Amino acid sequence: MKATTAARLRRYVTVDVFTDRIFGGNPLAVVLDAAGLSAQTMQAIALEFNYSETSFVLPADDPGHTAKVRIFTPRVEVPFAGHPNVGTAFALARDDRFAAATAAGRFVFEEAAGLVPIDLLREHGSIVGAELRAPEALSRRPTVSREAAAACLSLEPSDVVMQTHPPQVVSVGLPFLTVEVRDRDALRRSRPNAAAHAEFLPPVGTDAVFAYCRPPAACAAGEEIILHARTFSPLDGVVEDPATGSACAATIALLATLDPVNSAGRTWRIHQGVDMGRPSLLLGRTKTNGTAIDTYIGGRCVAVLDGVLPMSI
């Protein structure tokens, strides 16, 4: 007798995150029924979508939490990432299975980096996005030279700004080399140099560079601070990421730590993806919590596609 294989249809949706219009922001695939999938299968699905990340929703270990969420780039699983959390929360808020948590307006995701609390954002009664709190306090890790940072970005060393901080690996759940560049023109000219990434990034514990610049005029205390940014991660199969919530969160936590007098109640507006044709807007908050800085990143989302994956089980 020939053996039969049952088939289970795994639902998925795609969402554009950190944007208010379709085909902007950072696209995300969310597999809504991931229970029983192996890590190898999840990795294959993430490679098939080939977005910067794909998230997989599983039952939570603790019934008091909303879900367990695993996040994969095209090449590797990561413990935490920004736009997958915001986009997954937006997707689950449209799923009747999560109606009670949606009505309460708060999700808690279990992830490798820890618990990620997420508040839904509403406008005129409709859910339009979400805001996460980073799962870890800021950790400041190794620095690299101005020359190494410039090489990673295909820039001259003079394009790298050192006054506030040196190029440094920072993390609130996922590590990035954060580099301040001189101005918007330097940011626009930035390109990833894969050979330099391979030489300089693995020894300092990361595979991505987050480059940013600030407007010429400094903001007064309490005002919103604007940053322009780009993220490059060719070692991870992502040449450029349109919007990187985890890197933005780590960077604003670093800047708030370096300016502790004005860190309480500070708000941030980060523009990313502009130079690659996927404009994104990330909204950040930092506030003092004892001796630490709590960091929040949020934004709007747009639903794009619904579908199913026929998987053998």
Q: For residue 126, what are the β-bridge partners?
A: 123
Are the CB atoms for 285 and 266 separated by under 8 Å?
yes
Instruction: Report the relative pairing of strands 26-31 and 54-58 from DSSP bridges.
Output: parallel
Q: Is 56 helix (H, G, I), strand (E, B) or coil?
A: strand
Q: Which residue has the tokens 């990187």?
A: 244
Instruction: Report the relative pairing of strands 7-17 and 26-31 from DSSP bridges.
Output: antiparallel
Q: For residue 11, what are the β-bridge partners?
A: 308
Are the CB atoms for 186 and 149 separated by under 8 Å?
no
53 catalytic, yes or no?
yes
Q: How far apart are CA 86 and CA 32, in angstroms?
A: 14
- The residue among 250, 243, 251, 304 whose CA lies nearest residue 275 is 243
Largest CA distance in the chain: 77
List 48, 53, 111, 180, catalytic entry: 53
Q: For residue 119, what are the β-bridge partners?
A: 106, 131
**Angle at CA 69, nearest 5°, toward 64 and 75?**
165
Q: How far apart are CA 106 and CA 117, in angstroms?
A: 7
* DSSP-derived secondary structure letter, 218: P
Are the CB atoms for 261 and 227 separated by under 8 Å?
no
Name the token pair of 218: 């400094």
Q: Which residue has the tokens 């987050």?
A: 210
Q: Which residue has the tokens 């005029």?
A: 217
Amino acid at 87: G
Task: Please identify every residue annotated as catalytic.
Answer: 53
